Amino acid sequence: METRRLQYFLAVAEELHFGRAALFLHVSQPALSQQINILERELGARLLNRTTREVSLTRLGVAVAQQAKVFAASETDVRERIADLVSGRQGYLRVGFVPSAAYDLLPRIVAPFSREHPDVRLSLQEMPSQQQIELVLNGQMDLGLVRDVSHARGTSLIPLVREKLILACPDRHPLAASEKVSLSALQSERFIVLPKNVAPAMSRTISALCHRAGIDLSDAMEVLAFPTTLGLVASGMGVAIVPASVRATVLPGLVYRELTEDNATSQFSAVLREGGADQLTQHFLNIAGRAIAGRALAG
């Protein structure tokens, strides 16, 4: 990695325009573009997004530019830091997740990731799937853990695991004596659900299951979070269909039962910006794959 190429890259990063950067450096624009291409090949990573209309920095490009600004103070130190950023040993990763991921999936990924990458700053934000997709698209989030979403233009959707949906019901309910329960046996029950605007993907999945079983959810009680849902079920206020991972929550008066329907499942996926993951994001995905392969998701 030549110092000259870092200087060239820094000029482009500051101008975000190859023509102006070339004028500043007193070199031709083709020569400047060639040197940036060589630098990216040396690093094995893309630093700039180029279109016919604009030039922008990738997330890695922003981090490399920040380090390049201080290369004069310690050229060797900067080279080592940039190598760490490119390899994923250092950096900043912004990850979104749906609330239900916090019960099982997220801890199983974050714990080993933090052990293997102690110098990486990890930012975790809880939010609905659609909001995660929007933040990934506009570059404000690197990776999202989402449920039951379809592919959105400009993103890559990576299936992680298909999780069972189960029944949460009061322990004194007649159906609590059964190991498995059919949804058709719940047609007269009062359901407790998450509002569509809070968990649209989960709401669609549960609504479709209930519709096929002849269950009317028009009179369902709406609550904002699974902990509230489970508390109300335990108190005898109704029943709920929940992801299997929430059975980590144990409450007096609450039991969980499997459903007989094979299609009572929910798909967990990772969403990231189209164009592939950088090294840091790929490390996170690799650890997610190992965590899921290590044992089945709760339930």
> In the prediction, which pLDDT does 3 show?
77
Contact 266, 244 (CB under 8 A): no
Q: Which pTM was predicted?
A: 0.68
> In the prediction, which pLDDT does 72 show?
46
Architecture of domain 163-264: 3-Layer(aba) Sandwich (3.40)
Domain 3-87 has CATH 1.10.1060.10: no
> In the prediction, which pLDDT does 80 show?
57
> In the prediction, which pLDDT does 299 show?
44
Which residues, given as ranges, of the chain have pLDDT below 50? 72, 296-299
% of the chain beyond a pLDDT of 90 = 49
∠ CA 205-209-213, nearest 5°, is: 165
Q: Which CATH number, 3.20.20.80, 3.90.50.10, 3.40.190.10, 3.40.50.12640, labels domain 91-161+267-294?
A: 3.40.190.10
Q: How does the average pLDDT of the chain come out, rounded? A: 87
All residues at 6 or more sequence positions from 68 whose CB lies less than 8 Å from its CB, including other chains = 6, 7, 9, 10, 13, 78, 82
Q: What are phi and psi of 100, to 5 degrees?
A: -65, -20
> In the prediction, which pLDDT does 120 show?
86
